[in-house]
Amino acid sequence: MIEVGQFGPVTRFKLARNILGRPPYWTAAYFVDGLLVDTGCHFAMPELSDALKGQQVHTIVNTHYHEDHIGANARISQEHGAPILAHPLALPFLRDPRRIQMHLYRRVFWGLPLPSEGREIPPEVTTDRYRFQVIHTGGHSPDHIVLYEPSEGWIFSGDIFIGGRDRAMRPDYNIAEIIAALKRMANLPLSWLFPGSGSVRENPSDEIASKAAQMEELREDIRALHQRGLSEKQIARTLLGRDGFIRYISGGHFTAANLVHAYLREP
C-alpha cells in the first residue's frame, strides 16, 4: 500500500503491506530534489518503484538498517543508478539482510529486504538546491542517523522520534542516546519534522522537547521504584499498566518490562 503526500518540495510516501485490506503499520520514505530518504518495506517495493517513475533519484540515504527502512534499496538503486549511503555500521546489514535476525511479526509486516550495496555516508549530503548535515544519533539502533537541512529547518529523523508516551519497547534501545538526540534536535531551528512513521510535524521543537522531558521523568520514576526493591515486571505494571496488543503480535519483543529494563540498563 502507498499514500503520497506533498509538503512543499518534499514528497512523502507512506508505505505498508496490505493485510486484509488494512495497513498494520506504516513506514515512510521521503523524496526531495533527487534525494530519497529511506525506501520503506519490501512488500511495498513495487508501489514505491511505480511512484518514482519519471523522477530522477540521484542518491538514496538510509537512516538505519531496519527492514522497514531499506526494503526497496536494491530495486530503486538499480532502476535509477543511485548510490546508497548509510552509516558504516549499517553496511553489513544492507549487504546481507539476514543479519537483521527478524522476528516473525517483522517478516509478516515488512518482509525480508533484498541485499543491496551501500557506501559510507559523508558528513554532508548535497543536492542541487539543498545541503543536508548528517547527525549520528544511535539510540534506536547503533547506526541511526538523521538528516538536517539548516536553511529550510527540515529534519528527517528516521525512528529516533516516535510521538506519544512510550508504554512498550524493544530490548535493544539505548535510552540515554535517544534522550540526548531528542534534546539536540529540539535545540535546532526546525520548521518541519519528517519521521519514519510518516506523521509529519510542523514546528516540532516543543513536541520533541516534551518527548525528551517525558522520557527523563519516566527514568526517575523507574529508578525510584527500583530503589524500593520492585522487580522490572512490578515497575512496568505500576507505571505502565498491562501490555497491550503489541506484546502478543510481536511475540514478546515489545513489552513494558523491556522498556523498564532499557532504563535500568543505563550506567
pLDDT of residue 95: 98
65: closest CA among 36, 95, 26? 95
Cβ-based neighbours of 128, under 8 Å, separated by 6 or more: 33, 34
264: closest CA among 239, 247, 241? 239
Cβ-based neighbours of 161, under 8 Å, separated by 6 or more: 182, 185, 193, 195, 204, 208, 211
pLDDT tens figures, 92-128 = 999 999 999 898 889 999 999 999 999 999 999 999 9
Confidence (pTM): 0.94
Ordered by where they begin, the domains of the chain are 2-212 (3.60.15.10)
pLDDT of residue 19: 86
pLDDT of residue 165: 85
- pLDDT band at residue 248 using 50, 70 and 90 as cut-offs: low
Amino acid at 121: I
- pLDDT band at residue 211 using 50, 70 and 90 as cut-offs: very high
pLDDT of residue 245: 67
pLDDT of residue 252: 76
pLDDT tens figures, 133-178 = 999 999 999 999 999 999 999 999 999 998 888 888 887 899 999 9
